[in-house]
Homo-oligomer: A and B are copies of this chain.
Amino acid sequence: MRILITGGCGYIGSHTILRLLEAGHDITVIDNLSNSLSESLLRVEKLTGREIAFVEGDIADRSCLEGIFDRDDIEAVIHFAGYKAVGESVDQPLRYYGNNVSGTLTLLETMDAYGIRNLVFSSSATVYGANPQMPLKEDFPLRATNPYGRTKQHIEEILVDLQAADSRWRIALLRYFNPVGAHPSGLIGEDPQGPPNNLFPFVTQVAVGRRDKVSVFGNDYPTADGTGVRDYIHVMDLAAGHAAALDYLSGHQGLHTWNLGTGRGYSVLEIIHAFEAASGTSVPYELVGRRPGDAPVSLADPSSAFRDLGWKASETLESMCADAWRWQQHNPDGYRAKALPA
């Protein structure tokens, strides 16, 4: 079937597209390139030998969506498009709500008008907020603590109402934990525009010499080494989770929510040391104060996804580090330099 991928040029989008092309699906991408480069799709085409239909455009542009739905026989949408930086969302909430929520509403209205009612939505563990109960289960209350997280929560709530109103909708809400790593080819990976907001790309950029040192925010948390513990998930596992969710929807009605995580946590220092071991580099770091809003620990209970989808993360911390390093080494400046591995 042909699937529309919004925000398909981004990190998770491009890896998911690769997985779906390998599974035999056809892919159309809409991306406004506000935070990504279409080079990622050329790399995926190179890796798969398949063509991707790419439309540079915005999901808030109804006529652009209509053009796609008129031309392509789209059966499902995987909706990645959205701003994703917590700090930026605190400073520019209107921009975040406008882009993420209003954009999604335009997408949903247009899908509905075309009778396309299969949707996989890119949500986030941030919707759980500061819940201290671990591991996090899908039926915990939602209480996002920043505007970015609230855009995800609002969209989830809209989708629940939409599916309750019209049972023809089949919807998967995927709550990602911390996606890291890259395709093992080193051809595609995470390419943040500007300073990375997340630990992993920061570590890889330090290792490759683009930055001096990693800032470690807080070492007085109630964890084994005092630094924050997160549930890191390899992006190829995440991509497989999307493919599994999409398959599930073709056989099941309703709205379904799944955590995509491993259930296993690593501290900031464990990540830094594992990355040093995998890369053979040294990663200088500096201990600085806690960041407001950071939880000590965040861990998924991934058992629902295993029960329903038979999906389970299979990659290791070593492969997360090795694959991230291969990508970063071969593409020290990301896609912009267009440096291909020999």
List A residues at the B interface (Cβ < 8 Å).
Answer: 90-94, 97-98, 101-102, 105-106, 108-109, 112, 147, 150, 154, 157-158, 161-162, 164-165
| Given known A-B contacts A150-B157, A161-B147, A101 and B90 have beta carbons under 8 A apart | no
Q: Which of B93, B97, B158 contacts A93 (CB 8 A)?
A: B158
| Cβ–Cβ contact A94 & B98, under 8 A | no
| Given known A-B contacts A101-B102, A102-B105, A154-B154, A161 and B112 have beta carbons under 8 A apart | no
Q: How far, in angstroms, from A94 to B157 measured CA to CA in the complex?
A: 11
Inter-chain contacts of A101 with B (CB < 8 A): 97, 101-102, 105, 154
| Cβ–Cβ contact A92 & B158, under 8 A | no
Q: Which of B90, B92, B112, B147 contacts A94 (CB 8 A)?
A: B112
Inter-chain contacts of A106 with B (CB < 8 A): 98, 102
| Cβ–Cβ contact A161 & B150, under 8 A | yes
- Closest Cβ of chain B: how far from A58's Cβ, in Å? 14
Q: How far, in angstroms, from A161 to B108 measured CA to CA in the complex?
A: 25
Q: Which of B91, B94, B165 contacts A108 (CB 8 A)?
A: B94
State the majority secondary structure of interface residues on A: helix
| Cβ–Cβ contact B109 & A98, under 8 A | yes
| Cβ–Cβ contact A165 & B98, under 8 A | no
Q: How far, in angstroms, from A154 to B112 measured CA to CA in the complex?
A: 22
Q: Which of B105, B147, B154, B165 contacts A91 (CB 8 A)?
A: B165
Chain A to chain B contacts (Cβ below 8 Å), 19 pairs: A90-B165, A93-B158, A93-B161, A93-B162, A93-B165, A94-B109, A94-B112, A94-B158, A94-B162, A97-B105, A97-B158, A98-B106, A101-B101, A101-B105, A101-B154, A102-B105, A102-B106, A147-B165, A150-B157
| Cβ–Cβ contact A92 & B165, under 8 A | yes
Q: Which of B90, B105, B161 contacts A98 (CB 8 A)?
A: B105
Inter-chain contacts of A94 with B (CB < 8 A): 105, 108-109, 112, 158, 162
Q: How far, in angstroms, from A90 to B162 measured CA to CA in the complex?
A: 8
Q: Can you add 11 more A-B contacts, CB < 8 Å, to A93-B165, A94-B162, A101-B105?
A: A90-B164, A91-B165, A93-B162, A94-B105, A94-B108, A94-B158, A98-B106, A101-B102, A101-B154, A102-B102, A154-B157
- Closest Cβ of chain B: how far from A286's Cβ, in Å? 28
Q: How far, in angstroms, from A105 to B106 measured CA to CA in the complex?
A: 13
Inter-chain contacts of A92 with B (CB < 8 A): 165
Q: How far, in angstroms, from A164 to B147 measured CA to CA in the complex?
A: 11
Which of A91, A97, A109, A162 counts the most chain B CB atoms within 10 A? A97
Q: How far, in angstroms, from A164 to B165 measured CA to CA in the complex?
A: 34
Q: How far, in angstroms, from A94 to B117 measured CA to CA in the complex?
A: 13
- Closest Cβ of chain B: how far from A155's Cβ, in Å? 10
- Closest Cβ of chain B: how far from A173's Cβ, in Å? 15
- Closest Cβ of chain B: how far from A170's Cβ, in Å? 16
The residue in chain B whose Cβ has the minimal distance to the Cβ of A101 is: B101
Q: How far, in angstroms, from A93 to B155 measured CA to CA in the complex?
A: 12
Inter-chain contacts of A91 with B (CB < 8 A): 165
The residue in chain B whose Cβ has the minimal distance to the Cβ of A91 is: B165
- Closest Cβ of chain B: how far from A271's Cβ, in Å? 30
Inter-chain contacts of A154 with B (CB < 8 A): 101, 154, 157
Q: How far, in angstroms, from A206 to B123 measured CA to CA in the complex?
A: 49
Inter-chain contacts of A165 with B (CB < 8 A): 90-93, 147
